[in-house]
Amino acid sequence: MFNKNRAASIRAQALLGILAMTLATSLQAQLAPEDPDWKESEAPTPPAFSVDKLLPLAMPPYVSLTFGIDPATLTIAADGIVRYVVVARNAGGSINAMYEGIRCSTGEVKTYARAGNSGVWSVVAEPQWRGLTDNLPSKHAWVFARQAACDGRAAAASTTADIVKALKK
């Protein structure tokens, strides 16, 4: 016998997914035109991070992991890239950290390095820019861009203090 509550739950999740993709498409449509002369500055070495002062991301309720940004790792480079360390934690307490950059003007994210519970960074050999709304395993970068990193969906926030303030709301 098929559980009616389970069927309703599946339909609700599907509708939330469709809504998220619709909003994501709207986000991409509002991006600034790409600057043909833009060049990414060299990414700094992955910074040390702390799990003690993470600022939480407002992830959808169906996401089982919690995500937080270490405010001490936030930078906004001259090329407009917002770089940061995001930490994902599961219910058992295990963590995975990613050192990433968001290019707000094009709606893209790049992962430069990853670390597990040990905190030791493993640098990504050839990091690639991916769309914030691509079918990625996690939408944390998209949530961070909308919640704090990108101002008006086309430019990086003015300062790291502005990002921290938006994350604390």
Task: Please report the pLDDT score of residue 82 as a whole number.
Answer: 95
The mean pLDDT of the chain is 82
Structure token pair of residue 102 = 């968001």
Tell me, what's the pLDDT at 43? 85
pLDDT value at residue 152: 66
Evaluate if residue 8 carries a pLDDT over 80.
no
* CA atoms 33, 113, 148, 23: torsion sign: positive
Band of the pLDDT at 86, cuts 50, 70, 90? very high
Q: What is the pLDDT of residue 26?
A: 42
Give the tokens for residue 122: 């493993």
| 163 close to 82: Cβ distance less than 8 angstroms | yes
Can you tell me the distance from the alpha carbon of 13 to that of 39, in angstroms, rounded to the nearest whole number?
A: 40
pLDDT band at 22 (very low <50, low <70, confident <90, very high): very low
**If DSSP codes are grouped into helix, strand and coil, which group holds residue 24?**
helix
List, in order, residues 6 or more apart from 102 with CB less than 8 Å away.
81, 82, 84, 108, 109, 132, 141, 144, 145, 149, 150, 156
- DSSP reduced 3-state for 20: helix
**Given phi > 0 = left and psi -120 to 50 = alpha, else beta, which region is 102?**
beta
Share of the chain above pLDDT 90, in %: 57
**Is residue 14 very low, low, confident or very high in pLDDT (cuts 50, 70, 90)?**
very low
When pLDDT is cut at 50, 70 and 90, the band that residue 12 belongs to is very low
Which pLDDT value is given to residue 13? 55
The phi and psi torsions of 150 (rounded to 5 degrees) equal -110, 130
d(CA 52, CA 50): 5
Three-class SS state of 88: strand
CATH 2.40.128 is held by the domain 4-168: yes
pLDDT in tens, 96-128: 999 999 999 889 999 999 999 999 999 999 999
Measured distance CA(74)–CA(84) in Å, rounded? 5
- Where along the chain do its domains lie? 4-168
